[in-house]
Amino acid sequence: MDLWERIREYQHREQQLSWHGTFREYFERVLQDPRLCRLSHARIYDMIADQGIDSDDMGHKHYRFFTGELFGLQEALDQLVEYFQSAAQRLEVRKRILLLMGPVGGGKSTVVTLLKRGLERYSRTNQGALYGLEGCPMHEEPLHLIPSTLRKEIAQHYGIYIEGELCPVCRTRLREEFRGNIEEFPVERVVLSEMNRLGIGTFSPSDPKSQDISELTGSIDFATIGQYGSESDPRAYRFDGELNIANRGLMEFIEMLKADEKFLYGLLSLSQEQQIKTGRYAMIYADEVLISHTNEAEYQQLIQNKKNEALRDRIILIRMPYNLRVSDEMKIYDKLIRESALHTVHMAPHTLEVAAMFAVLSRLKESKRSGVSLLTKLKLYDGQLVDGFTETDIRTLKQEWPDEGMTGLSPRYVINRLSLALVKSTVPCLNPLDALRALKDGLGQHSGFSAESRDSLLNLIYEVRREYDELVTAEVQKAFIYSFEDTAQMLLNAYLDNIDAYVNHRKVMDALTDEEIEPDEMLMRSIEEQIGVSENAKRAFREEILIRLSTLSRRGQHFDYRSHPGLQAAIEAKLFTDLKGIVRITTSAKAADLVHEKKRNEVAERLIEYHGYCSHCSHAALQYVGTLLER
């Protein structure tokens, strides 16, 4: 990379973004591309939509704008985009404050940051280009120069919608500098930037005794009063408050409900009338998206206080609970680790999975339905097949607790504990047991946990540990069979041939002698007994399998040993039962002869090649499974 060449390229692109012209020239551009004069909500919606929208098999939309940044917030993101889509049509919802409400570490700030950074990038593209009056402190829409009496005719003739009035500064300049000649008023290209305070404002509440409303609405420039003779002269006022500079873009009000009431009054007129009251001037038009975030406790205080009715009526609430899908939670941790200096440390398989399981379990609530454990809910929410449950059952479970996900462990807690484990690790990789140990140790060091909640979380760690024991044992046992899936499929095919013959009162063809023989009852029962199918229930179970096979066949889908959760468990249990003795002896630390050592190395190589282990954690997994089987 030639740094200086890259810098020259950057400077050239910056120069290309610079455009200066007259209002007449700008109006010609608007006639060619009416999107130039979009309002702020429409610009943000187009910014999201222009990145692309995908649909999955269920018809759910996925917005590429958020891809790779936010995980497990699909419902909240759908509501967010729906809000901007409606607001882009100039419907009444645009005159509202968008409030993101959820627990700490739930992604509220991340959503706002993505929108702000996205606006900055979008304004640098041809599709997102916008222009403002040169010298205007609020970089306002140049079409405000057109008198209101002509706007209806312009809308009919050109199809251009104009909203808003000139700010006091531009009104004075038009009168005194340009003698009312709007054609020559200078216009420039505007590139939104939070750092440069152009179109993106941010307000964070602090001590109400020391914080002044001027941070939002600007203040008098006392140094120029002598020059202009009056405080009411707009040239003697600094229109540099966050609400002023956020015009044409987005205003983030951090923890809005923590702010003193005097800072919220200005939002009432800005949200409903899109006007700001500044100093000794008439109401000033502002076109900006108002977005804030808060937690549930503060929101409950808001709705319980009758003094806040006006503000509450101007709020559109989007709930942002914690993610409840293990696969998405893992993506959060993986993203954060990849962005750190520890991205080179190897993560043993299931390490992030057990951490994610622990976090998600802490956020779930016990089902009112008997026989549904937290672990079952976790699997169903993650899209895993669980025998006896349908999509309807999953929807019913989600409706039991509308506030599910609003409490529990934050991703920050988990990633903090994983980070400490990574730093302290003396081995080249981090394994699931290390992760669980770090999470467990953190419970005693965290001041926010009561004794009761700490005991509850400890129980969840033990539950995750048991689930991991089953996962790693199954993985190691599969590695003992050279081609486990092929072997499992062969066993399944034999089982299907026999139950088909049994149900339809036919015989099966012997593969060696080509003779017709009775269905192999011993084979069928050796599989079915693995999952507790009784003698009386065997016919119903076999008929159910054939119905599932027929259904998938009509849909053009292949039936394999994983197509039926119960049958998958039975097939694997049958193979593992046959292998158990060999696995126990081979993985035992006492088995030190060359034959067993060779077999251990072969299995370790398969774990490395097919399951993502490294040379260290593969042998550690073998040793751990050996201790489990010895118990």
Query: For position 169, what pLDDT does the model report?
Result: 92
Ramachandran category for residue 70: left, alpha or beta (phi over 0 → left; psi -120 to 50 → alpha): beta
pLDDT band of residue 291 (cuts 50, 70, 90) is very high
More confident residue, 13 or 362: 362
156-165, 227-236, 286-295: segment of lowest average pLDDT: 227-236
- The stretch 538-553 carries a mean pLDDT of 88
Whether residue 529 is predicted with pLDDT greater than 80 in this model: the reply is yes
Query: For position 585, what pLDDT does the model report?
Result: 61
Residue with tokens 């016919």: 539
Residue with tokens 């645009």: 94
Q: How far apart are CA 239 and CA 262, in angstroms?
A: 19
Query: Of the spans 180-189, 428-437, 466-475, which averages the highest pLDDT?
Result: 180-189
Q: How far apart are CA 484 and CA 22, in angstroms?
A: 73
- The stretch 212-234 carries a mean pLDDT of 79
Query: For position 592, what pLDDT does the model report?
Result: 53
338 φ, ψ to 5°? -65, -30
The number of helix segments (H) and strand segments (E) in the chain equals 26, 18
589 with 623: CB under 8 angstroms?
yes
Whether residue 355 is predicted with pLDDT greater than 80 in this model: the reply is yes
Whether residue 595 is predicted with pLDDT greater than 80 in this model: the reply is no
Q: How far apart are CA 62 and CA 54, in angstroms?
A: 5
- The stretch 401-407 carries a mean pLDDT of 91
Query: Of the spans 183-192, 331-340, 387-396, 535-544, which averages the highest pLDDT?
Result: 183-192
Instruction: Please list, residue by residue across 295-318, b when 16 or more beta carbons sit within 10 angstroms of its beta carbon and e when fewer do.
Output: beeebeebeeeeebeebbebbbbb
Query: For position 15, what pLDDT does the model report?
Result: 84
Q: DSSP letter for 277, please.
A: -
Q: Which residues pair with 319 in a beta bridge?
A: 101
- Chain Cα centroid distance, residue 387: 29
pLDDT band of residue 21 (cuts 50, 70, 90) is very high
* Count of Cβ atoms closer than 10 Å to residue 461 Cβ: 19
Query: For position 426, what pLDDT does the model report?
Result: 67
Q: DSSP letter for 427, please.
A: S
56-65, 190-199, 221-230, 277-286: segment of lowest average pLDDT: 221-230
Sign of torsion over alpha carbons 547, 548, 550, 554: positive
- The stretch 255-283 carries a mean pLDDT of 82
Tens-place pLDDT, residues 90-127: 999 999 999 999 998 889 999 999 999 999 999 999 99
E strands, 277-422, in order: 284-285, 289-294, 315-319, 346-347
Q: How far apart are CA 326 and CA 152, in angstroms?
A: 55
Query: For position 610, what pLDDT does the model report?
Result: 86
Tens-place pLDDT, residues 475-518: 888 887 766 677 778 888 888 888 989 999 888 887 667 788 88
Q: Residue 508: enclosing H or E segment and its boundaries? A: strand 508-509
Dihedral Cα 202, 205, 211, 216, nearest 10 deg: 30
Q: DSSP letter for 32, please.
A: H
Tens-place pLDDT, residues 301-316: 888 888 788 888 889 9
Query: For position 596, what pLDDT does the model report?
Result: 67
CB burial class (10 A; 0-12, 13-18, 19+) of residue 142?
buried
Whether residue 248 is predicted with pLDDT greater than 70 in this model: the reply is yes
Query: For position 467, what pLDDT does the model report?
Result: 94
Tens-place pLDDT, residues 121-132: 999 999 999 999
Query: For position 462, what pLDDT does the model report?
Result: 95
Query: For position 272, what pLDDT does the model report?
Result: 84
325 with 407: CB under 8 angstroms?
no
256-270, 293-307, 495-509: segment of lowest average pLDDT: 256-270
Percent of the chain scoring above 70 in pLDDT: 95
Query: For position 510, what pLDDT does the model report?
Result: 74
Helix locations, 177-325, DSSP H: 214-217, 225-228, 242-245, 261-273, 296-304, 309-312
For 488, half-sphere exposure in the C-beta direction (CA atoms, 13 angstrom radius) is 23
pTM, two decimals, is 0.83
Residue with tokens 């940044």: 69
Whether residue 586 is predicted with pLDDT greater than 70 in this model: the reply is no
More confident residue, 210 or 181: 181
Collapsing DSSP states into helix, strand and coil, what is residue 147?
coil
> Which contacts qualify for 225-232: CB closer than 8 Å, 24 or more apart?
231/279, 231/280, 232/279, 232/280, 232/281
Q: How far apart are CA 359 and CA 378, in angstroms?
A: 11
Average pLDDT across the chain, whole number: 87
Q: Which residues pair with 238 in a beta bridge?
A: 219
pLDDT band of residue 55 (cuts 50, 70, 90) is confident
Whether residue 590 is predicted with pLDDT greater than 60 in this model: the reply is no
